[in-house]
Structure 1
Amino acid sequence: MQTSITPLERRRRWAYRAALLAIVLSLLAGLGLRQPNPPDEPRFVLAARAMVQSGRWLLPHRGSELYAEKPPVFMWMQAGAFELVRDWRVAFLLPSLLAALATLWLTWDLARRLWNRRVAHYAVLALFATLQFGVLAKRAQIDMVLVAMTTLSLWGLLRHLLRGPDWPAWALGAFAAGLGTVTKGVGFLPLLVLLPWAAWRHRHRADAVRGAWPAWLGAVPAFVAGTAVWLLPLAIALWQAPDPSLRAYAHELLFKQTGTRYTAAWHHVQPAWYYLQVIATLWLPGCLLLPQLLPAWRRRLRRGDPRHWLLLGWSVLVLAFFSASPGKREVYIFPMLPALAVAAAPLLPGLLRRRATRWVLAGYVWLLALAALAVGAGLCMQAGWAMRGALKRAIDPAAMQVFGAWLLAFAIPVLLLAAWARLRRAGALVVATTALLWTIHGLGLMVALDPYSSAAGLMQRVGERIGPGAELGMIAWREQNLLQADRPAVDFGFKQPWDVQWARAADWVAQAPQRRWLFVLRDAMSPCVDRAQAIDIGESNRNAWQLVPGSALKPGCVTPAKDQAGAGDDNGN
């Protein structure tokens, strides 16, 4: 006998479908409308483009050098996306977009399996409404793909531990953890869920067959199989070609960029409490509900609910793991977010019935909209602070006005929507505001600043100045310069000292000084250059750049070594 659907339930279903459509459209908005922006995006796209052009996919390259800071899996995805769509503006963002959609589905399905469909709806909406999720879904960084893999791993492990036995899901979870590890070194973190599971079993003296330790060892082959997606080809390459540079690459990536980076980080050093400020800002508006969520979670834990023991226990372990390292970035704790959304979801219907909760969420929307209104109006009217900011970043004031207009296009509809929704629809208001924010961000804000956020405008001026028949070399360059040059450019190393780059450049220029030019960071300029012939070509990403014609180099002159602290460092994620 078919169960009848009440009018209230029917309205809820239609509202949820409309919200899903808004979520997908907002994440799609702007796809293909901008260039890769520093610091992280250009280096990944540069490596992916080199794979496609050279046909050598095993090892990523940054210009002429091997890129040893990250494994190549994410770059494989970008290169594979390009092979499908044949457009880098679309391809470079596709892995993050698809990973975001996969994470939302996995969050929904996990919450559905642990509770029910209604709770699953709240989990998806809560995850999407959190600012950090949208930020990373709209950027071509490894972290969104990593979170999709860690969420898939948790999905498989928790299906087995809480709703099992389900050995295929268990093996898939272990495999995803291995694949996540060779995507970014911390992909193994989902396996830490075994610790709160063991603690729960000890506390409640559980002896379920699905928790037998010997059987859990079956996860080891699946995890190894996941890591073998890349480590096996690397091992074969090392065995077949004992190249010192290849061995140096493997050592750099497998040791310095993993263990050393965790225990003795050389950049992004932050205090132990750093992630509290990340939670208080990038996890808006969800973090505003923590004063109400924490006591409710504590009650669930005291009652021994294994779902909250595993979800919250794992999240605490991840936070402790990253807090223990001196090197910290806001993206590191992002893998916790889907698990916390699932843990919060069964409590949200009750919280949203509270007037205090609705006041908090409505206040967040009003403040966000009013801030956008004030900034947008100031940019449109070319206020003094706006013009000073544009000048400091070498941005055309007209572009700042366009940026301001798009802020107004966000703020005004949100204010009208907030006035209509009032307190009764505060939860829906937050979701609608977030969807509009990422739509405006993709279609307008990023497009308006793209020539200045990327190096596209600068490199266009370079091409126009040297002419179509000239050849271009680069010294002390950044990834976006090489990526967005209008012709194949020659580099003389990325991490090489500047004096070494100048020596190699001098040999290259000497072969055809009349048609060869050098694109140089102004701070790296050599005394072997006739400064009268150097051309200030502009600023980009807070760096000033110059063009040097081949005739400006003094024959026989040797560039001295120069302090270049920070040059060539990979300060990415």
Structure 2
Amino acid sequence: MVTLLVLCFLVRNVPWHLDDYDQAKQAYTSYEMVHLDHWFFQHTPVGKVATKPPLVGWVSAAIHGVTGSWDVAWRLPSLVAALVMLGMVVIEGRRVWGAMGAVLATAFFGMNILAVRLATLVRTDMVLALWIFLVGWVIFDHLRSGNPWTARQRWLFLFAMLASMLTKGPILFAFIVPGLVAFWWLTRKQESRPTTNPGWLLWLLPLGVFLAWAIWGAVTNEAFYQEVVWKEFLGRFGTTESGSGEVYHKSQPVYYYLKVIGLTAPWSLMLIGLLCTKRVRGWLRDRPEVLWLLCWGIGGFVLMSLIPSKRTDRIFPVIPPLAIALPYLAAAAAGASGWWQRWHQRLIVVSSVVVTLAITGYTAAQVKFGIDTNQRVLVDFGAQAREIAGPDGVLLIVEDNDEAIPMYAGETEFTPRNAARKAWKRGEVDVLILPHKEWTKNADRYSGAELVTDTGEAIGKNGRHVLIRRAE
């Protein structure tokens, strides 16, 4: 199962491109670092201020420096993060309940649409999930040992906290703090209460680093203040972007619960069913580490569901702790006589086979769709433009909604329409990429132009594009 899941991770987003899920925005951060030396604050391909801290961009830039491949540099961080978490949940599942526990943990964590899609997506979601997972896992490891906090645990906690802050700011607290509050409440009457706090400095120091970066950006750039503070942070708690009136990523709580539970079924339903049994609830009283996993996963899920502006992908960090908790609960329930003891092996095996076939089929269907609809059409289009322009030719790209085209063509920016027209008229441009509408309506403005190719109407793209060059 693990081998098949890793294969699904690798191929789900083939053929690789940057034309959906805002991948172009994340890819451009490292691209801008390498080409324009903007290492601390970046922009989107259309020139707006980028809203995320730069850690993942730094990592991608470093990988590109070693491999020379942007495809590898952009996708390897997410893939490595997914594989690290997969390895950790498999080890925990096997340690708790042998092969059956490993199957449960693997299936819950990875055999769902969210995991296979995010594993090589050019976004920060999977990397962020790893940092959040490490923070929660250190607390879990501490509670399981029953010993005082060790230096190793504190250093790992600090590293994961700092990495999370430099990946996507304080969103980590939305996933961790509700669980901490719930755990504190549920253990408040215990005589020797387990501690989940490694020290306030380890929480505050990484937050201070992020705030220093954010203040630096806000003081030096008014657009940064508007985009990061108002849109990226405060805007997530409303239903519109600041000043635009545009509704985005709106998801109602009840619908959100049902959708996420459905995406992770049957494991989410199995978890709920086990928690409804009296034996399991009684067993949890003496297992603070498992109680923490449940508080962490469910608490983060509840709070995130109340934030209106989000994609379903945002909830992924709650899945790893619940994937570890499920084998614990299943093993505890199997120790008592009843329907679960009699049927659990058959139920788990049948569910695993069905889900594995479903996810494998889904992955194969997505790959086939991408190939059949030529989702790399803009990648090839940009490469063709760069080849025609040659090393000394001037290539301009007229501003458009397909944000990845400059990167495909080896350029760093779009050119405003009027500026491109004037540059062409003055003979300063050799090759030009235009929106199809601009070419059909204003071809006369590009005297001496030869149409090289037309992308046609492509599924999943924001428009149709043409490539022209100056006739010989």
- Which TM class, normalised by the smaller chain length? 0.7 to 0.9
The aligned residue for residue 374 of structure 2 is: 451
Q: Answer whether contact 2:109 2:319 (CA < 8 A) is retained.
A: yes
Spell out, residue by residue over 1:289-347, the C-alpha distance to the aligned partner (whole angstroms, 9 max, x if none). Answer: 35633423884268624344322223332222122222231112211111111221124
Q: Which residue of 2 aligns with 1:211?
A: 195
Of the three residues 168, 172, 175, the one matched with 2:156 is: 172
> Is 1:543 aligned with 2:462?
yes
Q: Does 1:520 align with 2:444?
A: no
1:137 Cα deviation from its structure 2 partner: 1.4
Q: Are 2:325 and 1:343 aligned?
A: yes
- Tell me the distance in 1 between the aligned counterparts of 2:134 and 2:90: 12
- The match for 1:139 among 89, 96, 121 is 121
> Are residues 489 and 45 of structure 1, via their aligned partners in 2, closer, same or farther at CA, if it must alter by over 3 Å?
closer
1:293 matched to 2:274? The reply is yes
Contact 2:394–2:428, Cα closer than 8 Å, also in 1: no
1:195 aligns with 2:167: no
CA apart distance, 1:479: 1.7
- Identify the match of residue 249 of structure 1 among 216, 224, 228: 224
The separation in 2 between residues aligned to 1:454 and 1:286, in whole angstroms, is 38
What amino acid sits opposite 2:149 in the alignment? Answer: D
Q: For residues 457-536 of structure 1, what are the structure 2 equivalents within 5 Å?
A: 457-459=380-382, 469=393, 471-485=395-409, 487-488=410-411, 490-492=413-415, 501-512=416-427, 515=430, 517-520=432-435, 522=437, 530=444
Q: Which residue of 1 aligns with 2:256?
A: 275
In the alignment, which residue of structure 2 is the partner of 1:158? 140
Task: Say which SS state the counterpart of residue 457 (structure 2) adopts.
Answer: strand
Displacement of 1:436 after TM fit?
A: 4.7
SS at match of 1:211: coil
> What is the deviation of 1:156?
0.8
Structure 2 residue aligned with 1:92: 74
Q: Percent identity?
A: 22
Structure 1, residues 425-481: CA drift from partner, whole Å, max 9, x if none?
425535753785587479x53762573256224435666888994622222242222
**How far does the alpha carbon of each residue in 1:79-112 deviate from its partner, in whole angstroms, 9 at most, with x for none?**
2222232212222211111001111233345557
After superposition, where does 1:368-383 map in structure 2 within 5 Å? none
Structure 1 counterpart of 2:166, from 179, 182, 189: 182
Quote the residue 1:42 is aligned against: 24
AA partner of residue 168 (structure 2): K
Task: Indicate conservation of the 8 Å contact 1:462/1:537, yes or no.
Answer: no
Residue 258, structure 1, aligned to residue 182, structure 2 = no
SS of the residue aligned with 2:53?
coil
Task: Give, in whole Å, the separation in 1 of the partners of 2:99 and 2:166.
Answer: 35
**2-structure distance, mates of 1:63, 1:290:** 43
Q: How many residues align?
A: 447
Distance 2:235 2:35 in 1: 33
- State the alpha-carbon separation in 1 of the partners of residues 2 and 467 from structure 2: 53
Residue deviations 1:481-535 (CA, integer Å, cap 9, x gap): 22212x536513xxxxxxxx3344344434326735351263x789766489896
Question: Which residue of 2 is the match for residue 77 of structure 1?
Answer: 59
User: 1:430–1:177: structure 2 CA closer, same or farther, 3 Å change rule?
Assistant: farther
**Counterpart-to-counterpart distance in 2, 1:30 and 1:205:** 47
Measure how far apart 1:200 and its partner are. Answer: 2.2
Change (3 A) 1:251 1:109: farther
* 3-state SS of 1:53 partner: helix
CA displacement 1:245-284 (0-9 Å, x = unmatched):
x343145214431122223444112222231342244213
Structure showing greater relative contact order (alpha-carbon pairs closer than 8 Å, 6 or more residues apart): 2
Change in CA separation of 1:231 and 1:431 when aligned onto 2, cut-off 3 Å: same
Compared with structure 1, are the counterparts of its residues 102 and 441 closer, same or farther at alpha carbon in structure 2 (3 Å cutoff)?
farther
Query: How many Å separate the matches in 2 of 1:287 and 1:142?
Result: 25
Output the amino acid matched with 1:223.
W
- The 1:119/1:92 distance shift into structure 2, 3 A limit, reads same
Shift of residue 134, structure 1, vs aligned partner: 1.8
Contact 1:475 / 1:518 at 8 angstroms: preserved in 2?
A: no
User: 1:76 and 1:67, CA in 2 relative to 1: closer, same or farther beyond 3 A?
Assistant: farther
**CA contact 2:15–2:371 (8 Å) conserved in 1:** no
Measured against aligned partners, the alpha-carbon deviations of 1:192-243 in whole angstroms (never above 9, x if no partner) come to 33212211221x33334x539xxx3x533223443466554565677xxx64
Q: In terms of mean alpha carbon deviation, does 91-100 or 49-58 score higher?
A: 49-58
Residue 244 (structure 2) aligns with: none
- Give the whole-Å Cα distance in 1 for the aligned partners of 2:271 and 2:279: 12
Structure 2 residue 201 is matched with structure 1 residue 221:
yes
Deviation of 1:550 (Å): 9.2
2: CA distance, partners of 1:296 / 1:453? 50
Structure 1 distance, partners of 2:239, 2:282, is 35
1:503 and 1:543 map into 2 onto residues whose CA distance is 21
Tell whether the 8 Å contact from 1:458 to 1:538 is kept in structure 2 after alignment: no
Q: For 1:159 and 1:282, locate their aligned partners in 2 and report how far apart those are by CA, in whole Å.
A: 28
Matched-pair contact (CA < 8 Å) for 2:398–2:417: no
Cα 1:511–1:285 shift into 2, 3 Å: farther
Amino acid at match of 2:202: A
For residue 140 of structure 1, what is the amino acid of its counterpart? Answer: V
Matched residue, 1:375 = none
Contact 1:268 1:329 in 2 (8 A): yes
Contact kept in structure 2, 1:47 and 1:60, CA below 8 Å = yes
Aligned equivalents of 2:217 and 2:376: distance in 1?
38
Look up the SS of the partner of 1:517 in the other structure. strand
1:142 Cα shift?
Answer: 1.3
The DSSP-based 3-state class of the residue aligned with 1:459 is helix
Which letter maps to 1:197?
A: F
Q: Distance in 2 between matches of 1:482 and 1:297?
A: 59
